C-alpha cells in the first residue's frame, strides 16, 4: 500500500477554481496584436536566416519548400490543440499547466522540463544566427579571431565561444526584467523590422532567381560535392522528410503565446486567434525565403551559416547583406522561458525561489535572471545544428502530449469548464457515474448506451488512445528503420497493413464515444482525427532525429528527474494541499468520535 501511495503521487492533478482563473500576480496588458507579433517574433528567426540554407544544402535540396510545408501542417495541427487549451485555461505555463490539470503531475513535469529546454535553446539558436549574420558584415573577423585564439575543439560544441551571442542574450534578459509591456513593444518593433527585411529579400531575390536551379542534372554537380541525385528532390523523399523534421524547428515558438494566459487582456479569444494567424504568416515567409534562396543559387553551394547575405553577395548585390543582417529577432524567443519556469516554481515542482515576482515591475525576476544566464551560456558554447535537434525533440514530445490531452478532455465526464476546474483525485462521490451497471459488452465500443459521457466511455477512450499511440510508435519504427523493405511485399508490409487496420479501428471506437457537450470560444475540429494525426506525426519526426540527439535528451531528462524526485515530489503544492486535507479529515473524525464518547 505504501508503494502504491507514493506511485499515486505522480498522477495527482492540479486543482483550480473558475473564480481563480482571472487572478494573477502578473500584469494583464497584452492585446491580440501584441500576441500575434509575439508569436511571429518567437517563430520567424533562425529558421529563415540559417536553417533554410543548412537544410537545402545538406538534406532536402530545393524540396525544402515541401519540407517547410510538411512542418507547417504538423505545426498547424499542434497549434489547433494549443488554441483549444488556451481557450479553456488562460493560465501561465502553456502545455505544462494543461497536462497538469488533465493527466497528472509527473507528465506535467516532463513537459515543463522540455519546454524549458525548448525556449532556452530557441533563444540561444536565434542569438547565434544573429551573431553569424553580423559576423558576415565584418568579413568574418569575429569568427576568425576567436577560432585562432580560443578554439574549443570539443565534439558537439561550437568551434569557438560566441561571446557576441552571450552578450545579446544577457541584454535582452535585462529588458525582460524591466516589464512585460516594454518587452512586448520592443518585440513588436523588431518583428515588424524582421518582416520588412524578409519581404525585401523575397522581392529582390525574385529578380535574381533562376528556375533552372530546381532541376540541376546530376552530372552538373561539381566533383567532390555531395549533391545527391540532382533535380528538385536530390536526396529523395527520405531527405525531404528528414528536412521536415529539422524545418519543424523553424515553427517552434508559437506556443509561447499560450504561456501569456495571465498577461493577455482577453486570453480566451485572443490566444487561439493569434496562434493560427501567426503560424500562417510564418509559413508564408518561410516558403518565400526557401523558394527564392534555392532559385538564386544551386542548393549545394548555399552557405550553411549565413545563407541569405552570402547569396546576395554572390549574385552581385552586396549592399543587400547589410539590410538582411538586422533582421533576426530575439525577444520573442526568450519571452516565454521565465514564464514556464515561474509556473513550475509556483507549483513547487522546481525550486520555489524562482516564483518570486517583483512588486514594482510585475515580472518573475528570479526566473528571468536564471533562465537568461542559462540561455546565454547555451549560446556561448553549443553548435547551432546540435541546438536545433535538441530543441526539436523536446518540442515534439510536448506537442504530442498536448494533442493527447485534447482527446482525453473531449471525452471526459467532467472536463474543466466554466464552472470549476477540480482535482479529481480529491473529489468525493462521483457526480457522473455510469447509469448502466450491466457487464461490459463489445457492442458498447461502437454503440454506447448513453449520449452523454460516462466513466465507462471515458475509460474506453483513454485505453484506446493509449493503444493507438503504442501502435503508432511501432508503425513509425517500421517506416523509418525498414524503409528499404517497403518496395517489396513481405513481412514488413504485412505488419504495416495490420497496424494500419488496428489504428483505424481504434480511431473509429474513439469517434463513436459521446463527447463532453461544453462549449468553448475555440474547439479543435474533427476530434479525434486531428489531434491523433498530430500526435502520430510528432512521434514520427522525433524518431527521424539522430541517435546522438536522443542520448543528449536522455541526459537532460536525467537531470530533470533528479530535481523532481529529490525536490518536487515532496514540495509540490498539490501534494501539500492533499496532505492538509487528509489531516483535517482525520481531525474531524477524531472530534466526531470524541463527541460520541462524551454523549455516551
* pLDDT tens digits for range 466-479: 999 999 999 988 88
> What's the farthest any 2 CA atoms get from each other in the chain?
102
Spatial neighbors of 430 by CB under 8 A, at least 6 apart, are 455
Domain assignment present for 588 = no
Q: What are phi and psi of 305, to 5 degrees?
A: -105, -45
Q: What is the Cβ-side half-sphere exposure of residue 162, based on CA atoms within 13 angstroms?
A: 31
CA angle 140, 142, 145 (to 5 degrees): 105
As a whole number of angstroms, the distance between CA 477 and CA 481 comes to: 6
pLDDT at 510: 94
Residue 302 lies in a domain: yes
Residues 6+ apart with CB under 8 A from 137: 309, 321, 322, 325
Residues 6+ apart with CB under 8 A from 308: 48, 49, 52, 53, 133, 201, 289, 293, 321, 324
Q: What is the mean pLDDT of residues 309-332?
A: 66
pLDDT at 494: 87
- Is the pLDDT at 438 greater than 70? The verdict is no
Q: In this predicted structure, what is the pLDDT of residue 321?
A: 63
| Range in 297-301, 348-352, 497-501, 595-599 with the lowest mean pLDDT | 595-599
Tell me, yes or no, whether 120 lies in a domain. yes
d(CA 410, CA 518): 9
Strand partners, 420: 17
Is 309 a residue whose pLDDT tops 60?
A: yes
Looking at the DSSP bridge assignments, the partners of residue 421 are 16
Looking at the predicted structure, is the pLDDT value of residue 585 above 50? no
pLDDT of residue 384: 67
Cβ-contact 290, 251 below 8 angstroms: no
Residues with Cβ within 8 Å of residue 553, at least 6 apart in sequence: 390, 393, 394
Average pLDDT over residues 32-57: 80
SS3 call for 264: strand
Taking the C-alpha atoms of residue 218 and residue 233, their distance in angstroms, rounded to an integer, is 11
Please, what sign has the CA dihedral across residues 299, 303, 306, 309? negative
Name the one residue in this structure whose C-alpha cell is 505488419: 495
pLDDT exceeds 50 at position 320: yes
Residue in 148, 89, 111, 186 with CA at minimum distance from that of residue 400: 111
Residue 427's CB: how many other CB atoms inside 10 A? Answer: 10
Lowest mean pLDDT among 26-30, 36-40, 308-312, 425-429: 425-429
- Lowest-confidence segment of 159-168, 322-331, 372-381 by average pLDDT: 322-331
Note down the domain range covering 46. 27-410
Across the range 18-30, mean pLDDT stands at: 61
Q: Is 214 among the domain residues? A: yes
> What is the total count of domains within the chain?
1
Whether 175 maps to a domain, the answer reads yes
Looking at the chain, the whole-number percentage of residues with pLDDT higher than 90 is 13
Structure confidence by residue, pLDDT tens digits, 392-405:
787 788 888 888 88
pLDDT at 420 > cutoff 50:
no
pLDDT value of position 561: 93
| Among 13-27, 65-79, 123-137, the least confident range | 13-27
390, 587, 591, 599 from 595: Cα distances, Å: 62, 12, 6, 6
Task: Give CA–CA dist 112/458, Å, rounded.
Answer: 26
How far is C-alpha 135 from the chain's CA centre? 30
Note if the bond before 528 is cis, omega within 30 degrees.
Answer: yes
Predicted local distance difference test score (pLDDT) of residue 501: 94
Per-residue model confidence (pLDDT) at position 431: 41
Q: What is the pLDDT of residue 511?
A: 93
182 or 522: which leads in pLDDT: 522
Residue 163 has pLDDT above 50, yes or no: yes
Within-domain flag for 312 = yes
Number of Cβ atoms within 10 Å of the Cβ of 488: 8
pLDDT(428) > 70 = no
Q: Which residue has the higher pLDDT, 36 or 482?
A: 36
- 328-383 residue pLDDT tens: 555 556 777 888 888 899 889 998 888 888 777 777 889 989 988 988 898 888 87
Q: What pLDDT does residue 291 have? A: 92
What's the CA gap between 226 and 263, in Å, rounded? 49
Contacts of 406 (CB under 8 A, 6+ apart): 81, 84, 85, 524, 527, 531
Q: What is the DSSP letter of 16?
A: E
| Cβ atoms of residues 60 and 68 within 8 Å | no
**What integer is the mean pLDDT of 28-47?**
78
Give pLDDT, residue 270: 82
What cell numbers appear for 479 in the block?
517506416
Q: What pLDDT shows up at residue 262?
A: 66
User: If pLDDT is split at 50, 70 and 90, which confidence band does 119 have?
Assistant: confident
Q: With the CA atoms of 554, 560, 562 and 567 taken in that order, what torsion angle do they form, in degrees rounded to the nearest 10?
A: -170
3-state secondary structure of 382: strand
pTM for this structure? 0.76
Asked whether residue 540 is assigned to any structural domain, the reply reads: no
Between 231 and 264, the higher pLDDT residue: 231
DSSP state of 62: G
- Mean pLDDT (the chain, rounded): 78
Task: Determine, yes or no, domain membership for 164.
Answer: yes
Residue among 34, 54, 58 at smallest CA distance from 125: 54
Residues of the chain above pLDDT 70, percent: 79
Assess whether pLDDT exceeds 70 at residue 124. yes
CATH number of the domain that residue 291 is part of: 1.20.1740.10
Q: For residues 511-540, give the mean pLDDT.
A: 87
Query: If you average pLDDT over residues 408-435, what whole number do you get?
Result: 53
- The pLDDT of 86-90, averaged and rounded, is 68
Which pLDDT score, from 0 to 100, does residue 423 have? 40
- State residue 19's pLDDT score: 53
User: Mean pLDDT throughout 230-246?
Assistant: 85
DSSP 336-349: THHHHHHHHHHTTS
d(CA 423, CA 425): 5
Residues near 257 by beta carbon (within 8 Å), at least 6 away in sequence: 35, 38, 39, 82, 86, 271, 274, 275, 278
Amino acid at each position: 500500500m505504501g508503494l502504491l501511495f507514493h506511485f499515486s503521487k505522480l498522477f495527482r492533478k492540479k486543482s483550480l477554481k473558475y473564480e481563480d482563473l482571472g487572478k494573477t500576480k502578473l500584469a494583464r496588458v497584452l492585446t491580440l496584436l501584441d500576441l500575434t507579433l509575439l508569436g511571429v517574433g518567437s517563430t520567424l528567426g533562425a529558421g529563415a536566416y540559417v536553417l533554410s540554407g543548412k537544410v537545402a544544402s545538406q538534406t532536402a535540396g530545393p524540396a525544402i519548400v515541401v519540407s517547410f510545408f510538411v512542418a507547417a501542417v504538423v505545426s498547424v495541427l499542434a497549434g489547433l490543440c494549443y488554441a483549444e487549451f488556451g481557450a479553456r485555461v488562460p493560465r501561465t505555463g502553456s502545455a505544462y499547466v494543461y497536462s497538469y490539470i488533465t493527466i497528472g503531475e509527473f507528465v506535467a513535469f516532463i513537459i515543463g522540463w522540455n519546454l524549458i529546454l525548448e525556449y532556452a535553446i530557441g533563444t540561444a539558436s536565434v542569438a547565434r544566427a544573429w551573431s553569424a549574420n553580423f559576423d558576415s558584415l565584418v568579413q568574418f573577423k569575429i569568427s576568425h579571431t576567436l577560432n585562432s585564439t580560443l578554439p574549443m575543439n570539443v565534439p558537439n560544441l561550437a568551434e569557438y565561444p560566441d561571446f557576441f551571442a552571450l552578450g545579446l542574450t544577457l541584454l535582452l534578459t535585462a529588458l525582460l526584467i524591466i516589464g512585460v509591456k516594454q518587452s512586448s513593444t520592443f518585440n513588436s518593433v523588431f518583428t515588424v523590422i524582421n518582416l520588412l527585411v524578409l519581404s525585401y529579400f523575397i522581392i529582390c531575390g525574385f529578380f535574381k532567381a533562376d528556375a533552372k536551379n530546381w532541376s540541376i542534372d546530376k552530372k552538373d554537380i561539381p566533383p567532390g560535392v555531395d549533391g545527391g541525385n540532382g533535380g528538385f528532390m536530390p536526396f529523395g523523399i527520405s531527405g525531404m522528410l528528414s528536412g521536415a523534421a529539422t524545418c519543424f524547428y523553424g515553427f517552434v515558438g508559437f506556443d509561447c503565446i499560450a504561456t501569456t494566459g495571465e498577461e493577455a487582456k482577453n486570453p480566451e479569444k485572443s490566444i487561439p486567434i493569434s496562434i493560427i494567424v501567426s503560424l500562417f504568416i510564418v509559413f508564408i515567409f518561410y516558403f518565400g525565403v526557401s523558394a527564392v534562396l534555392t532559385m538564386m543559387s544551386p542548393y549545394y553551394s548555399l552557405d550553411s551559416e549565413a545563407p541569405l547575405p552570402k547569396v546576395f553577395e554572390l549574385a552581385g548585390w552586396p549592399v543587400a547583406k547589410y539590410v538582411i543582417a538586422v533582421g533576426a529577432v530575439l525577444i520573442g524567443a526568450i519571452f516565454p522561458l521565465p514564464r514556464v519556469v515561474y509556473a513550475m516554481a509556483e507549483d513547487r515542482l522546481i525550486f520555489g525561489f524562482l516564483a518570486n515576482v517583483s512588486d514594482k515591475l510585475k515580472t518573475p525576476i528570479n526566473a528571468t535572471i536564471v533562465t537568461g544566464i542559462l540561455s546565454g551560456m547555451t549560446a556561448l558554447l553549443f553548435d547551432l545544428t546540435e541546438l536545433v535537434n535538441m530543441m526539436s525533440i523536446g518540442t515534439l514530445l510536448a506537442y504530442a502530449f498536448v494533442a493527447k490531452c485534447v482527446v482525453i478532455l473531449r471525452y471526459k465526464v467532467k472536463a474543466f469548464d466554466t464552472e470549476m476546474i477540480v482535482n479529481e483525485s480529491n473529489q468525493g462521490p462521483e457526480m457522473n457515474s455510469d447509469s448502466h451497471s450491466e457487464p461490459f459488452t463489445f457492442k458498447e465500443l461502437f454503440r454506447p448506451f448513453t449520449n452523454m459521457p460516462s466513466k465507462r466511455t471515458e475509460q474506453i477512450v483513454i485505453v484506446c488512445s493509449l493503444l493507438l499511440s503504442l501502435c503508432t510508435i511501432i508503425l513509425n519504427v517500421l517506416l523509418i528503420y525498414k524503409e528499404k523493405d517497403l518496395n517489396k511485399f513481405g513481412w514488413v508490409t504485412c505488419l504495416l497493413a495490420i497496424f494500419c487496420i488496428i489504428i483505424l479501428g481504434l480511431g473509429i471506437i474513439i469517434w463513436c464515444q459521446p463527447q463532453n457537450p461544453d462549449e468553448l470560444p475555440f474547439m479543435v475540429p474533427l476530434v479525434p482525427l486531428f489531434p491523433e494525426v498530430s500526435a502520430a506525426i510528432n512521434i514520427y519526426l522525433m524518431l527521424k532525429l539522430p541517435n546522438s540527439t536522443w542520448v543528449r535528451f536522455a541526459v537532460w531528462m536525467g537531470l530533470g528527474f533528479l530535481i523532481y524526485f529529490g525536490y518536487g515530489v515532496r514540495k509540490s503544492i498539490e501534494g501539500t494541499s492533499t496532505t492538509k486535507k487528509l489531516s483535517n479529515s482525520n481531525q474531524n473524525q477524531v472530534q466526531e468520535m470524541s463527541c460520541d464518547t462524551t454523549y455516551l
